[in-house]
Amino acid sequence: MTGICEGRVVVVTGAGRGIGREHALEFARQGAKVVVNDLGSNTDGTGSSAGPAGEVVDEIRAMGAEAIANGDDVSDFDGASRMIRSAIDTFGRIDTLVNNAGILRDRMLVNMTPDEWDAVIRVHLRGTFAPTRAALDFWRERSKAGEDNDARIVNTTSPSGIYGNVGQTNYGAAKAGIAAFTIIAAMEVARYGVTVNAIAPAALTRMTENLGMGQRAADIPADQFNPLSADNISPIVVWLGSSESAGITGRVFNVMGGHLSVAEGWVEGPAVDKDGRWDPAELTGIVPDLVARAAPNAAMSGRRP
């Protein structure tokens, strides 16, 4: 296989189904050797099966490319280390890490349980930290030994995290954390030859079919381009995971169908300054005016209403 990732070694988490599966397949088409990580769990994180990861590996090998399956839990620090080590032991190194694994436990905040909160935060946020930390150990040691890295990390945030969605305080908080993690990590690891970016994808998967996307997809004629197809997300991820993206780091990209945009983060809006400490009562005449002059928060589309 030849392509923009020819010879690169790539680890994709949550790659047994959905968007992660498409990432793994596209990396393979572009010449990468792929570690397909997946627990094979349900959308809420319960259960496990070796089947999905193994099936993707079979598809990749049928292309004539190289791949291995990994069933470690990415939110477990030791498990994440084993996953990264499997890439190094099998293929000699790791060049790109795609943190894609995730679960859903949607609930209105007034009904959300501590377990529903903790499970989502653990898989998304800790499940981004732990593999990243393990990969960085490898790249940092290479850098200290005088070797150059051309390394990439691609994280997965969400419109729910950077724009907000009702019923997803746990998921949105985790995804917002991943966006912040991406920006800060990019600052910290540039010295080691590592870039860090993220995507905020919108596509039809097991996790989104009950959020309205299933019906929207059903209304699209089979012979037309389907903007909700999960495979539309992978081109930007593969490009960000390649050597071509060397100059891009610390950015979050919105992607749906053929639409691609750069998410612009929090910026300071209308302001007022006083040469001294505010009295709380004074702010009654200040804060409403600031808010009235401020741009509204973006909708889930990423655009202001």
Residue-number span of the structural domain to which 190 is assigned: 9-263
DSSP reduced 3-state for 258: coil
Could you give the number of structural domains in the chain?
A: 1
Q: Is 56 domain-assigned?
A: yes
DSSP reduced 3-state for 79: helix
pLDDT score recorded for residue 211: 56
Q: Is 256 domain-assigned?
A: yes
| CB-based burial label for 83 (10 Å; 0-12, 13-18, 19+) | buried
Rounded to an integer, what distance in angstroms lies between the CA atom of residue 21 and that of residue 41? 14
Can 163 be counted among the known catalytic residues? Answer: no
- List 75, 171, 234, 242, catalytic entry: 171
CA distances from 262 to 1, 31, 133, 192 (A): 30, 27, 26, 25
The size of the chain, in residues, is 305
The residue assigned the tokens 């401020």 is 294
Q: Is 297 domain-assigned?
A: no
pLDDT score recorded for residue 43: 60
Please report, in tens digits, the pLDDT of each residue of the chain (305 residues total). 479 999 999 999 999 999 999 999 999 999 999 999 998 755 655 655 568 899 999 999 999 999 999 999 999 999 999 999 999 999 999 999 999 999 989 899 999 999 999 999 999 999 999 999 999 999 999 999 999 999 999 999 999 999 999 999 999 999 999 999 999 999 999 999 999 999 999 988 655 556 555 556 557 777 788 888 999 999 999 999 999 999 999 999 999 999 999 999 999 999 999 999 999 999 999 999 999 999 999 998 899 88
Q: Is 283 domain-assigned?
A: no
pLDDT score recorded for residue 186: 98
Can 175 be counted among the known catalytic residues? Answer: yes
Q: Is 15 domain-assigned?
A: yes
**Which among 39, 52, 49, 43 is positioned nearest to 210, based on CA atoms?**
43
pLDDT score recorded for residue 195: 98
Q: Is 277 domain-assigned?
A: no
Contact between residue 19 and residue 104 where contact means Cβ atoms under 8 Å apart: no
| CB-based burial label for 257 (10 Å; 0-12, 13-18, 19+) | middle
For the domain that residue 143 is a member of, what is the CATH number? 3.40.50.720
Q: Is 200 domain-assigned?
A: yes
Can 158 be counted among the known catalytic residues? Answer: yes
For residue 193, give both structure tokens.
């030859």
pTM: 0.91
pLDDT score recorded for residue 40: 74
- List 41, 75, 143, 158, catalytic entry: 158
Neighbours of 147 (CB within 10 A): 11
Contact between residue 152 and residue 240 where contact means Cβ atoms under 8 Å apart: yes
The residue assigned the tokens 């302001």 is 271
pLDDT score recorded for residue 261: 97
Q: Is 214 domain-assigned?
A: yes
Rounded to an integer, what distance in angstroms lies between the CA atom of residue 4 and that of residue 32? 9
Rounded to an integer, what distance in angstroms lies between the CA atom of residue 100 and that of residue 227? 20
- List 175, 234, 242, 245, catalytic entry: 175
The residue assigned the tokens 């047994």 is 16
